[in-house]
Structure 1
Amino acid sequence: MNLRLLVLVFTIIGCLLLGCADIKEEVQSKPISATRPNIILFVADDHGTDALGAYGNNVIKTPNLDQLAREGVRFNNAYCTSASCAASRSVILTGLYGHATGSYGHVHDYHHFSTYDKIKSLPVLLEKEGYATARIGKYHVAPESVYHFQAELKANPRNTVEMAEQCMGVLNSEKPFFLYFCTDDPHRAASTNPGQWDAPNSFGNKVDGYPGVETITYDPAEVVVPDFLPDTKESREEIAQYYQSVSRIDQGFGRLMQMLKESGKADNTIVIYISDNGMAFPGAKTTLYEPGMKLPCIIKDPNSTLKNATSDAMISWVDLTPTILDMAKVDIKEKSFHGRSFKDVLNVKEPKGWDQIYASHTFHEITMYYPMRVVRDKNYKLIRNIAWRMEYPFASDLWAASTWQEVYRGNKEFYGKRRLQDYLFRPEFELFDLKKDPDEMFNLANDPNYKGVMDKMIKKMKDFQIKTRDPWLITWDHDSSLQGTGINL
């Protein structure tokens, strides 16, 4: 009997005696890349649904993102939980509301908000499961030990084509990979002309452009002015700059998709496109009105049965971490996250049970304390402005925006459809029927015909705060049940 036959005989005998334990172990230790998808999470900075062809804008040029929508699922009711960059990103990467993790506002400079060091973030959990994790561009979360990625790639975050080019090594990884791709576009930049109040912000655009990027400009006369903004020369000029920045994102996204296809991994890669909060204009970013928190979300999952589809399911950025873990075939412990996986929604045209979301905003900059909590239940939306006796605060760049300054300096009565006084001084409760009033103009909170709705929504809000251990529960009748002892245990 030759040696090869002898080994085979002993292997068969061993399997009969031991129940094939060794072979079973071999099956379990198959290369992870053979069973788990790659995942790209592409996050733009201050990009609303107002500036995407796939969401109905016929002026802006976003062919690559529009193609993603044709190949995947576009969500019509996707929401951030806090319309502020750092706070929103902490939720994206933890599946937990910022008020529960200490991620109350901005991380950088003197703001210095930071996530509790015991939190386990998405990249850390995926690395534990054998994923190669990498990030490029805007980070804006802390501490690094909580939001650790194995690789940090370097490129100009305003040049998304250059960013894409730096990701080749990740796309060719032997392991399944998680790529966190975050642009600085279309965030506002330093003013184009700081000495001229009515000069439009550049939104990162440069006269001489960026290497490898086609400069696409827009005529201010042709842009689409959202209803919440004033239709003025200043507003149109700034929107035109904003569009130009978005078109730069689209080109970089297109280059990344081309590289993914060339790597041979497109058929096993889930691609998710979102933004952290709404467009950087007063009335959107930093507010929990719809333009600030209702955002683009386009997902292409090669294994999904739906293509070129839209979904009306209400999803939230607090759902992203559990969803991505579910996509990566990671067992999720019950109650590990405040959100839940919507992976199965990608296969259902009319999913049931996805008609409610919550939001929680506390700070933007540290000088902008204005906590708000939101419940959206079907067509009703309740905002509680906890610091309602204060004037609504401004982010420094939004205050300087020529769009705002034109109204402020001119002592105008209206900012868009809303009275300026109503924008600056808000009631404690704002209740809207979004089906009848999508612009959130008619506050029903004190209408006796809606008392039953108000009572129901307030109960939902309190239950949400209790469930997520929100310290701001104390603002309801001095309820201190969730307050700490002041002692480190």
Structure 2
Amino acid sequence: MRIPQIAITVFSVLSIFSCVDKNEEKAPEGQAAKPNIILFVSDDHGTDALGSYGNKVIKTPNLDKLAEEGVRFTNAYCTSASCAASRSVILTGMYGHATGSYGHVHDYHHFSTYDNVRSLPVLLEKEGYETARIGKYHVAPEKVYHFQKVLEADPRNTVEMAEKCKDVLSSDNPFFLYFCTDDPHRGAPFQSEPWNEPNSFGNKAEGYAGVETVTYDPKDVVVPSFLPDTQETREEIAQYYQSISRIDHGFGKLMGMLKAAGKADNTIVIYISDNGMAFPGAKTTVYEPGIKLPCIIKDPSAKTKGTVNEAMISWADLTPTILDMADIETTDVAFHGRSFKEIVGERSPLGWDEVKASHTFHEITMYYPMRVIRNKNYKLIWNIAWRLEYPFASDLWASSTWQSVYRKHGEYFGERKLQDYLFRPEYELYNLDTDPGEIVNLAYDEDYGEVLESMKQKMKTFQKDTSDPWLIMWDHDSSLQGTGVDL
């Protein structure tokens, strides 16, 4: 019997539709599917230790591939070089001095965000996103930073972490995955015996199940100029590199699973760190090694591949940018940062030449508020508690890198005098074009008086605009202090 031509045509059309990938996200009629978002945050990883940022020793092929397929920012900054304080900014778009997130959350430190703040995961959930987190959390309260799913895995085993995310990656709804490793944070115990043994940075002799162990010879590592080139420093950097290679392996696993789930073409992937490497002179400071960080973004919908972006952005910009990428309007939420979605593909966009930083605590015993303005090539640091000796994070003080100089009463720690590291002037003004190491303080040079005053005015404006209580330290300005009466 001859089959009518119309029947053949209908059968063919139905066959085509039946072959459509069932993993493709279905959007409402007339509306594009919202992108999935993965925000991958490492712990204490600086730009010093990534192949795509110029390190020719460390092996980070998967993260380097992300840079090849996306955009690598060269002037991206956290706003506080401390884990919890930085993460609060990442997830709220607001400086910690305005949200109560002054320092660490855990143990007796107990800093916590005000409960009226609305965070990124809460705002995304409201718009239909499935939100999930895995690994380091380090923010509070849970009501403010609520995720629908909390996944459990060893935060040092990034392959295991990736595997636990399988159901999220296969979700029928658009998802937001907050993937936070403990690597390459220093490992416990922080104080070794003997004192000159390098910290483990979470590495184990037996390695981690499913993770390729990549080791480094201390003689081959790159010692940044702000650190002393001692055997102890080199041994610790070798451990630090090994921990980062473990991150890279897990990141590669996660990307492979994303592709297998059919979601790679509709998922924005962002790689950042919370602060710089866990060495004195970087973490807990507002010098460049502490706050200038990797930021790599791959947005499959954008026409960017292997692009370098020189815009000055900060972690205060991340929440508004991610919401903008998800096409979510938030006119009822006031962020301190701004979306950089529209300039992602540009190399040197206009109007992106200033960032601010605000550090108050790390551990509760480390009161040392600092405020920072970087405008183009100039950077001003205001050490509000400058009469105090600069406080140390417990893990950095115990580090063999620090002790290798301190125990021998050395004059210099890297390029900086040990005395200058411990005791700082009220103002530090640097020209980063001519002095990238931040060694020559111009704040007390008469030739830079106008620059100093201009930067001070910018800082005061920043503090007023962001309701910084430490504004009172300028001539006892109490305009933000209120009446002191609970009405």
TM range (shorter): over 0.9
Distance apart, 1:345 and its partner CA: 1.4
The residue aligned with 1:201 is 199
Letter in 2 for 1:158: R
Letter in 1 for 2:233: S
Structure 1 contact 193–199 (Cα < 8 Å) conserved: no
d(CA) in 2 for partners of 1:163 and 1:32? 36
The residue aligned with 2:252 is 254
Letter in 1 for 2:421: Y
d(CA) in 2 for partners of 1:336 and 1:83? 23
Distance apart, 1:32 and its partner CA: 11
Question: Is the counterpart of residue 274 in structure 1 residue 310 in structure 2?
Answer: no
d(CA) in 2 for partners of 1:318 and 1:32? 33
| Mapping 1:291-306, distance limit 5 Å | 291-306=289-304
What do the CA deviations read for 1:186-222 (whole angstroms, capped 9, x no partner)? 0001148732100000000000000001110000000
Secondary structure of the equivalent of 2:79? coil
Secondary structure of the equivalent of 2:219? coil
Distance apart, 1:349 and its partner CA: 2.8
Structure 1 contact 141–147 (Cα < 8 Å) conserved: yes
The residue aligned with 1:480 is 478
What do the CA deviations read for 1:353-378 (whole angstroms, capped 9, x no partner)? 10000000000000000000000000
Structure 1 contact 372–384 (Cα < 8 Å) conserved: yes
Q: Unpaired segments of 5 or more residues in structure 2?
A: 1-26
Distance apart, 1:86 and its partner CA: 0.1
The residue aligned with 1:339 is 337
The residue aligned with 1:81 is 79
The residue aligned with 2:364 is 366
Letter in 2 for 1:274: I
| Mapping 1:279-294, distance limit 5 Å | 279-294=277-292
Q: Using a 3 Å threshold, how does the CA distance of structure 1 residues 195 and 272 change in structure 2: closer, same or farther? A: same
Secondary structure of the equivalent of 1:313? strand
Letter in 2 for 1:121: S
Structure 1 stretches of at least 4 aligned residues deviating more than 4 Å after TM superposition: 31-34
Q: Using a 3 Å threshold, how does the CA distance of structure 1 residues 126 and 31 change in structure 2: closer, same or farther? A: farther
d(CA) in 1 for partners of 2:348 and 2:426? 35
Letter in 1 for 2:413: Y
d(CA) in 2 for partners of 1:413 and 1:335? 50
1:323 to 302, 321, 324: 321
The residue aligned with 2:409 is 411
1:465 to 463, 467, 473: 463
d(CA) in 2 for partners of 1:298 and 1:460? 29
Q: Unpaired segments of 5 or more residues in structure 1?
A: 1-28
d(CA) in 2 for partners of 1:232 and 1:374? 31
Structure 2 contact 106–138 (Cα < 8 Å) conserved: yes
What do the CA deviations read for 1:164-195 (whole angstroms, capped 9, x no partner)? 00000000011000000000000001148732
Distance apart, 1:486 and its partner CA: 2.9
Structure 2 contact 105–112 (Cα < 8 Å) conserved: yes
What do the CA deviations read for 1:417-445 (whole angstroms, capped 9, x no partner)? 00000000000000000001000010000
The residue aligned with 1:242 is 240
Secondary structure of the equivalent of 2:272? strand
Letter in 2 for 1:241: Q
Structure 2 contact 160–210 (Cα < 8 Å) conserved: yes
Structure 1 contact 33–174 (Cα < 8 Å) conserved: no
The residue aligned with 2:391 is 393
What do the CA deviations read for 1:131-170 (whole angstroms, capped 9, x no partner)? 0000000000000000000000000000000000000000
Structure 1 contact 305–346 (Cα < 8 Å) conserved: no
The residue aligned with 2:14 is none
Distance apart, 1:33 and its partner CA: 9.2
What do the CA deviations read for 1:73-104 (whole angstroms, capped 9, x no partner)? 00000000000000000000000000000000
- Alpha-carbon RMSD: 1.4
Q: Using a 3 Å threshold, how does the CA distance of structure 1 residues 31 and 279 change in structure 2: closer, same or farther? A: farther
d(CA) in 2 for partners of 1:198 and 1:137? 30
User: What is the aligned residue count?
Assistant: 462
| Mapping 1:105-184, distance limit 5 Å | 105-184=103-182
Distance apart, 1:34 and its partner CA: 4.7
Q: With the length of structure 1 as denominator, give the TM-score of the two structures.
A: 0.93
1:40 to 38, 41, 65: 38
The residue aligned with 2:261 is 263
Structure 2 contact 190–399 (Cα < 8 Å) conserved: no
